[in-house]
A and B are shown apart, each in its own frame.
Chain A
């Protein structure tokens, strides 16, 4: 069906300004591999040259940017002048999208973490801000129906070891999270690096409420909770175990005979 070829080619032109230029300049050669009738090739060449195609390309990029701006605004602010370049590279690396916000955020988060790990860009704040926003997004968009929270199965390792409640996330920061997040939210940029000495900080996001409740916890407890979040044993002594239990952040123990699941 050549209409399929036409639509594939048209969508490709909209997503790729470079392809649009080639379709305008060398229409016969620009779209090899697409099943097109002569009329469709003429149509695409004509459409590529219309002023409206530039707008199509702009709107495509704006629509792809929407989930990032809407759901990762602080991460976008933390990237600052690097944002345009990072997003451009993301789109060239992942030219296809299903436009589902959750999938797009997940894909971008994975991509950005790889780039940050490679130091491209070198940005000491972006990863922890990204982790925070991804955790918050996950809790907001996976909130169970009112009244159903109690039905959520407990998570527990074999032998009844403690486990983090599935509606709780722990985010580690190397910089003061309150200063970083407040600065990004208020000013659209992070505080100057000189004002942010490195340290060990933890935020807990408790998604068992209408909106995730965010609180700060000390480093010793934060480390324990992060180990639980990763599925491992918390370690520590009896005093640490008691402190964990007092947080109210652990999953309820599975009842006898039921299978724990996440």
Chain B
């Protein structure tokens, strides 16, 4: 296995193993089954209420959630996986949000953090921004690359942990794009030194909905930039497949994990994601089964 590139965030990142993305349904699971996890990933946005830019205070902690994450962080590494930065938003960069990320990093010392390569927040004409209600794709053009690269650098300067960007799910394809998604991700990682969080279920969702060639995508992507992999499940809505995290992880995603893990020399973690609404059906046994299967693949990666 090739050593990490000098500018790769993985150069300093510890190898963690297999973990899950925390949701409120698994609070009790964590208390009793933490031994089965190498780390826990959390969404900082869910640990506090965001009153909006310019409000004072901007953020109010949800103490019940913070207390649990403090307890976990005393026992396991935690990784931050944000959902609210909207790094692809044109005309909007939320410096307060990034400062808050930096505070979470000082509190939990996460070895890296991640965000989605998409946009959801839209600046309004009168200044206040609003939310699209769903993460939307950014066009893979030079203009977007320059925009996002600049944002990545600002985050890297503010937060003392490497940043990974996650490949997006999109239900509408943007025509006439200047680059393919792997080309865009490779260029972004090369220009900024950021890492990649490769969500295999997002990839599968796009393959299923748009005929994307998963193998071709993985051949084109610079897998040396991949630090973390996500696996999850979904379900069909109105004839399309949705990355709802509310279904079993499909066989194609497990196959992709088995194929990618040995080819990603700087891979440090594999995270299982599921929505809290799915936990009653999944149960602790289902969570354990997914973690065990991920761990078996992790152990075989070489």
Task: Identify the A interface with B (CB < 8 A).
Answer: 1, 3-4, 6-8, 10-11, 14-15, 39, 42-43, 46-47, 50-56, 58-61, 63-64, 96-103, 140-146, 210
Q: Is the CB of B63 within 8 A of A143?
A: yes
CA distance A67 to B239 in the complex (A): 25
Tell me whether A99 and B131 are in contact in the complex, defined as CB-CB below 8 angstroms, given that A7-B122, A143-B63 are known contacts: yes
Chain A proximity of B28: nearest CB distance (Å): 14
Residue picked from B120, B132, B143, most chain A C-beta under 10 Å: B132
Q: Is the CB of B49 within 8 A of A101?
A: yes
CA distance A99 to B50 in the complex (A): 9
Nearest CB in chain B to that of A63: its residue: B133
Nearest CB in chain B to that of A50: its residue: B172
Tell me, yes or no, whether B29 is within 8 Å of chain A by CB. no
Q: Is the CB of A96 within 8 A of B175?
A: no
Tell me, yes or no, whether B237 is within 8 Å of chain A by CB. yes
Task: Identify the B interface with A (CB < 8 A).
Answer: 49-52, 60-64, 66-67, 89-91, 119-120, 122-124, 129-134, 136, 139, 143-144, 147, 170-176, 209, 237-240, 242
14 more A-B residue pairs beyond the given contacts A52-B170, A52-B173, A98-B52, with a C-beta to C-beta distance below 8 A: A3-B90, A14-B133, A39-B176, A42-B175, A43-B139, A47-B174, A52-B171, A55-B171, A55-B240, A55-B242, A56-B172, A102-B51, A143-B63, A210-B64
Taking a contact as CB atoms closer than 8 A, the residue among B63, B64, B130, B171 that contacts A56 in the complex is: B171
Taking a contact as CB atoms closer than 8 A, the residue among B49, B122, B238 that contacts A54 in the complex is: B238
Nearest CB in chain B to that of A95: its residue: B130
CA distance A95 to B208 in the complex (A): 31
Taking a contact as CB atoms closer than 8 A, the residue among A39, A52, A101 that contacts B209 in the complex is: A52
Q: Is the CB of A145 within 8 A of B175?
A: no
Q: Is the CB of A97 within 8 A of B172?
A: no
CA distance A8 to B62 in the complex (A): 31
Question: Which residues on the B side are within 8 Å of A210 (C-beta)?
Answer: 64
Question: Which residues on the A side are within 8 Å of B209 (C-beta)?
Answer: 52
Question: Which residues on the B side are within 8 Å of A61 (C-beta)?
Answer: 133
Question: Which residues on the A side are within 8 Å of B91 (C-beta)?
Answer: 1, 4
Tell me whether A3 and B143 are in contact in the complex, defined as CB-CB below 8 angstroms, given that A100-B52, A146-B67 are known contacts: yes
Q: Is the interface of B mostly helix, strand, loop or mixed?
A: mixed
Question: Which residues on the B side are within 8 Å of A56 (C-beta)?
Answer: 134, 136, 171-172
Q: Is the CB of A100 within 8 A of B240?
A: no
CA distance A99 to B52 in the complex (A): 10
Question: Which residues on the B side are within 8 Å of A144 (C-beta)?
Answer: 63
Taking a contact as CB atoms closer than 8 A, the residue among B62, B122, B147 that contacts A11 in the complex is: B122
Question: Which residues on the A side are within 8 Å of B119 (C-beta)?
Answer: 7
Question: Which residues on the B side are within 8 Å of A10 (C-beta)?
Answer: 132, 136
Q: Is the CB of B134 within 8 A of A60?
A: yes
Question: Which residues on the A side are within 8 Å of B139 (C-beta)?
Answer: 3, 6, 43
CA distance A145 to B123 in the complex (A): 34
Q: Is the CB of A43 within 8 A of B175?
A: yes
Chain B proximity of A258: nearest CB distance (Å): 22
Q: Is the CB of A7 within 8 A of B133?
A: no
Taking a contact as CB atoms closer than 8 A, the residue among A15, A53, A59 that contacts B242 in the complex is: A59
